[in-house]
Amino acid sequence: RVKVKSLGDTVGCTITAHHLSLIVDDWAGKNHRFCKPVAKYPHDRAALREVVAQGHPRFFLGSDSAPHAREMKECAHACAGVFTSPALIPYVAAVFEEMGALDKLKGFVCDNGRRFYGIAQPTADDGTIELVKTGAPVADVYAEGSLTVVPFRAGEAIGWEVHTH
């Protein structure tokens, strides 16, 4: 965190929703939360949360979503990766709400990465999303034919959902 902040405008850092949420105790023995690099200790998570809550412009969301088939996660040699795509923005919103930093959410999710990579900001014609408070849980599984994937925080209410416009 400190190193990236001190390296200048050509160095940025993506942070995943799950690394803002997890510590080692949250994934050890829980294959659907196992990822690489592994989530570490509370002070590591706190450092990530601190820098994004500050709204630092060179830190931005990287999904790193990994929809591994259930049988590839529920085995002795589970694939590393967390499936976050279905509720990516709500996961991040829940963390930012917990930190009291919802005012920094749009920058982290939408603006900082675009600015860093020189990508134009979207126009009104590109559509918008709205975050809505909800008590609805994340789906237990996503299935397509014989493929079943378990999402991050399956069955848990995370407090937010996305509506598109």
pLDDT tens digit sequence for 74-103? 999 999 999 999 999 999 999 999 999 999
pTM across the whole model:
0.93
pLDDT on residue 53: 98
Helices (H), ranges, 14-165: 17-21, 24-27, 42-53, 70-73, 88-99, 105-106, 112-117
Confidence tier at 57 by pLDDT (50, 70, 90): very high
pLDDT on residue 126: 83
Confidence tier at 3 by pLDDT (50, 70, 90): confident
The token duo for 131 is 């975050």
Q: What is the pLDDT of residues 7-53, one digit of tens each?
A: 888 999 999 999 999 999 999 999 999 999 999 999 999 999 999 99
How does the average pLDDT of the chain come out, rounded?
95
Alpha-carbon distance 22 to 39, whole Å? 6
| Side chain identity at residue 129, one-letter code | I
Catalytic residue among 25, 26, 64, 126: 64
Confidence tier at 120 by pLDDT (50, 70, 90): very high
pLDDT on residue 79: 97
Does residue 64 carry a catalytic annotation?
yes
Considering the domain 2-122 in this protein, what is its CATH number? 3.20.20.140
